[in-house]
Structure 1
Amino acid sequence: MRLASLSILLSALTLGACSSEVEERPTDEQPTAEIAPNDISVEGEERRILAFGDSLFAGYNLADHQGYPEKLERALRENGVNARVIDSGVSGDTSAAGRQRLAFVLDQLEDKPDLVLLELGGNDMLRGIDPADTRANFEAMLDELQQRDIPVLLMGMRAPPNYGPDYQQRFDALYGELAAEYGAAVVPFWLESIYEDPSLFQSDRIHPTAQGIDTLVAHTLDEVEAALPAKN
């Protein structure tokens, strides 16, 4: 059943997102020769995107060029967008950890991002953190970004049914409600395109393979492009 598979996989995904293990190169997937994003010639104003999240952005157990931010940058450039995507994914981050480091990360950037992809919450769910606390952390991060006049695309997650209907409803509602409150764009469940296909996950059945990342990029590319503010 769809709900059963969602429950199993999302539980596994949150376990993986919480991993603080040292990242290693995969043994079952060899990096493929690909053109570096910066070697794809694109004219026009550079669009800077900050990918801020946990291990699902950090590219756990993948080669440096195979993570979501890196693949997204390549896809945007192939689409004619002069994009630079900055990978700020940290394995194990909760929304509280993201809240603590966001301002520091922004302050260290040479230029203000045109867009922030905010991908957190899975580790909160794993730890059973009250969705009200998760919401408060997201509100603090969104306040910070709003004060800096930086648009946001929320990369939503879902709670599995085994967390109970109350928790599930409150957690799942977070992303859409926050998007409406702050005028942010949102991908309601950004793993939607892969969660039912085990072949798109690594042998740990937790983290996406390079092919899984390709699928995620293909299914979120339009939403990322749409979230970029109009050029000056």
Structure 2
Amino acid sequence: MIDLHLIGIGTGSPDHLTRAGEAAMRAADVILLPRKRADTADLLDVRLALCDAVVGERGRVAIFDLPARDAAAPYLATIGTWHDAIADAWAKAIARHLPGGGRLALLVWGDPSLYDSTLRITDRLRARGMVLNVTVTPGITSLQALTAAHAIPLNTLGAPVTITTGRRLADDGWPAGVDTLAVMLDGQCAFDTVDPAGVTMWWGAYLGMSQQALAAGPLSEIAADVRTRRAALRTEHGWIMDIYLLRRA
């Protein structure tokens, strides 16, 4: 039996980790951390810093290499294969570090239930016969961090909000009947496909961290600046996590 605890860590700021998340980290026998490409070493460093701050024992931290997704292939056509490869990596790490079972923690950006596939990967492990007792502890989501950073409400009075991805915005356009869009996972600046007339944008990157960057204003006036800034920040840090809100007048 593996007691798997998925802990939301917001954007990586220690302030985004709840007390319940801290308790789960301290209770874990092993905290499993993914390592991506060499140019994204900062991502691992953020998680290691959280472990140092909360647990203070590197001996309880295990690092595994996260398989890369084929970014050149269509997303939905490759995501299943990629998740299978991640499940393989998890299984090998668990067999190595917890061969007799125990308490395993994984630190998840944002919230494990919001545009994250960690729970889907645990389903793959169950399908292979692994006995998992899964507990989820949410953290501060990027949506909360964005609206707080700009001191704005998420919705207008009595109106709905659509949470979507940059890929869906670019492919399907602005959904009908919705005035407010929260857009995540937009690596291609899909806001450039939106008619900017009457649209306000609130953008944020590295929310809650020392390198936090914000911009707000009419989309027609700030789109080019946001595109330039996010490209520069990605080059500087090797990675970027950003989110934005679009609202029609």
TM-score by length of 1: 0.36
TM-score by length of 2: 0.34
Return the index of the structure with the highest Cα Rg. Answer: 2
Query: Going by fraction, where is strand more abundant, 1 or 2?
Result: 2
